[in-house]
A and B are shown apart, each in its own frame.
Chain A
Amino acid sequence: MMMNEVAQTESAAAGGRRIGDVILDLQNISLSFGGVKALTNISFNVREHEIRAIIGPNGAGKSSMLNVINGVYHPQEGRIVFHGEERKEMEPYMAASQNIARTFQNIALFKGMSVLDNIMTGRHMKMNCGLLSHVLYWGKAQREEIEHRKKVEEVIDFLEIQSIRKTPVGRLPYGLQKRVELARALAAEPSLLLLDEPMAGMNVEEKQDMCRFILDVNDQFGTTIVLIEHDMGVVMDISDRVVVLDYGKKIGDGTPDEVKSNPEVIAAYLGTAH
């Protein structure tokens, strides 16, 4: 039932967006930690406005791939071209300033802060006031704070978390924490959004909500999304193209249908019905 619903949402969404040119091109990426090869010679690209899924068994290198994209890990070999610019010596700060936002597999919210403050922190790249104007909290600093609060409230409305905006995030249930993390990423108005298992550990209803939000973000804001997910029903329904990793190597790439019928992918990950 869930898949049908999601599929309907998707067909509605697909009408509103157009997949554009390649904005992120990963060429021959290899990453190793000492003797452990996490990624071996991986190339794939992401087109503007598309939802790109990365799947594969545990330890296949999916999260490492995201960490390479936003500069947490530095691959030993390969090129990353984002919006026509090749990026060398990447730092996470630079990825953020290029409008790449992400969520984490294990929730990485700021536990001591309220939902509102967490999301406001997500906008800090767009705020210019310095320490001294914050000390005064008057004039420009206050205007800036309020102006960004308005934007944050839009995100809060979009993700339907109005009732918890003043709650410390540590007190929220897991599903809502995941949603707040998405809100924090969205507050940065990213052009590329990386989602690391956005639906892990959720029940069916929460998964449906999350699917709806992901599709809405993609549709309304035109955000390009790269996501890692283990729920094959969801992945095959919402993504435009899927790349499959296994043991740090790419074993499949294409539309969900192509991937589903790829014998190598079936052997490594999807399995067959017995």
Chain B
Amino acid sequence: MLYREAGQFKASYQEDAQIFPIRQDRIGFFALMAVVFLVVPFAASEYWLQAILIPVLIFSLAALGLNILTGYAGQLSLGSAAFMAVGAFATYNFMLRIDGIPFLVAMLLGGLCAAGVGILFGLPSLRIKGFYLAVATLAAQFFIVWALVKFPWFSNYSSSGVISAQTVNIFGYAFVTPQAKYLLTLAIVTVLALAAKNMVRSTTGRKWMAVRDMDVAAEVIGIRLMRTKLQAFAVSSFYCGVAGALYAYTYLGTVEPEGFNLDLSFKILFMIIIGGVGSILGSFLGSAFIVLLPIFLNVVLHSAVGAALPAGFGSSLELMIFGALIIFFLIVEPHGMARLWQIGKEKLRLWPFPH
């Protein structure tokens, strides 16, 4: 009964076009922001910050990137992890080779490198669609990882190809504690998520969706398919690239090219399928779900049957549950958890009345 929009009239188009047109949603959003920025860094343990919250945020950003490309612009891609690798290694090299470059600048440049590579590997989308495009983007996945291993310059001739991220310094403050890293990641992800929302609610996003839904009609309206598709590839890869940089700099600290393999690309794809294709919120839900599920299963299994299980049972069970969930979502709710959330809100508007 708290969730009613009665009495909230929009007197201007500006009010009507807000991100959260319903007041309760706005309050909820700002409350959530206050909690994640002001309460969580001090309340959460180091383990939670470093092993759960930071990866959830970083994968949300990568999923957001893929969602822009696949969910909004309708171009399937299996190269997300490779674009993350480009972002991570480019940022590393900018930090290494340009003296005194601020981390944020290096990260942006890393993202732009990923965008450039994304455009290059997006070129097949001009001729092929759907499943065939997904296979074509596999080329990016394999080629980029291969190139990063093959040319040791990228990893500064480290013998194993592993790079160690430099300490992040912003205005003389070193981000070394989990709290600081968490806040940095959170701030970047928040800004980029807001930017993504702004893009998808303006002409840029409408053009992407037009190309996704009916490319012939989009063309006749005057949307240039080539430009729109490549733009989506660029923006998507930029997001993945920044996510890759954060993956190296605020999450793992040391990364190697093989870490950005096809498994990671698939993981990001599963995130948007389970979270919600074509939804900003869905990217976050999917990422949280996929990072938390194994931890949750682990805890449940251990408390239920203790140490009596054979080794490897837990991880196998996890894969089986993943598979089952993906099939479940594809059949029952192709729009994922984001749609479930939306349905829940619609029901809540009427509750406790049935209609």
Residues of A within 8 A of B (CB): 70, 72, 92-93, 95-97, 101-102, 104, 108-113, 117, 120-122, 124-125, 127, 129, 131, 134-137, 141-142, 145-146, 149-150, 153, 184, 188
Contacts and interface: CB of A to CB of B under 8 A. Distances in A.
B235 interface: yes
Nearest to A123: B203
Which DSSP category, helix, strand, loop or mixed, fits chain A's interface? helix
A237 B30 CA distance: 59
Interface of B: 12-14, 16-17, 195, 198-199, 201-207, 209-210, 212-214, 216-224, 231, 235, 278
A131 B17 contact: no
A169 to B, nearest CB: 9
17 contacts: A72-B216, A92-B220, A96-B220, A101-B221, A108-B214, A109-B217, A110-B214, A113-B206, A117-B206, A117-B209, A121-B218, A124-B206, A124-B222, A125-B221, A129-B203, A146-B12, A146-B17
B203 A134 contact: yes
B141 to A, nearest CB: 26
Instruction: Kindly list the 9 A-B residue pairs having the minimum CB-CB distance in the complex, ordered from nearest.
Output: A96-B222, A108-B217, A137-B198, A110-B213, A134-B202, A149-B13, A92-B219, A135-B195, A134-B204
Contacts of B206: 113, 117, 120-121, 124
A146 B201 CA distance: 12
Contact of A113 (B14, B209, B216, B220): B209
Contacts of B216: 72, 104, 108
A111 B218 CA distance: 12
A133 to B, nearest CB: 8
Contacts of B219: 72, 92-93
A124 B214 contact: no
A131 B209 contact: no
Q: Which of A135, A142, A188 has the most CB of B within 10 A?
A: A135
Given A111-B213, A112-B278, A124-B206, A137 B201 contact: yes
B198 A121 contact: no
A140 B214 CA distance: 29
A160 to B, nearest CB: 19
B96 to A, nearest CB: 29
Nearest to A111: B213
Given A95-B222, A109-B217, A121-B207, 15 more contacts: A92-B222, A93-B224, A97-B222, A111-B214, A113-B210, A124-B207, A124-B221, A134-B203, A134-B205, A136-B198, A137-B201, A137-B202, A145-B202, A150-B13, A188-B222
B210 A110 contact: yes
Nearest to A72: B220
B230 to A, nearest CB: 12
Given A121-B221, A125-B222, A188-B221, A131 B235 contact: yes
A96 B205 CA distance: 19
A108 B217 CA distance: 6
Contacts of B17: 145-146, 149
Nearest to A99: B222
Nearest to B277: A112
A225 B207 CA distance: 26
Contacts of A112: 209, 212-213, 278
Contact of B14 (A95, A131, A141, A142): A142
A110 B220 contact: no
A264 B17 CA distance: 56
Contacts of B16: 149
B214 A109 contact: yes
Contacts of A125: 221-222
B202 A141 contact: yes
A151 to B, nearest CB: 11
Contact of A121 (B13, B199, B210): B210
Nearest to B219: A92
**Max chain A Cβ within 10 angstroms of own Cβ: one of B13, B217, B222, B235:** B222
Nearest to B197: A137
A172 to B, nearest CB: 14
Nearest to A104: B217
B333 to A, nearest CB: 15
A96 B222 CA distance: 5
Nearest to A146: B13
Contacts of A117: 206, 209
Contacts of A153: 13
B220 A102 contact: yes
Contacts of A102: 220
Contacts of A141: 202
Contacts of A109: 213-214, 217
A108 to B, nearest CB: 4
Find the residue from B13, B201, B202, B220 having the highest chain A CB count within 10 A: B220
A166 to B, nearest CB: 9
Nearest to A121: B206
B222 A93 contact: yes
A137 B209 CA distance: 18
B241 to A, nearest CB: 16
B123 to A, nearest CB: 19
- Residue from B12, B198, B212 having most chain A Cβ neighbours under 10 A: B198
B293 to A, nearest CB: 28
Contacts of A124: 203, 206-207, 221-223
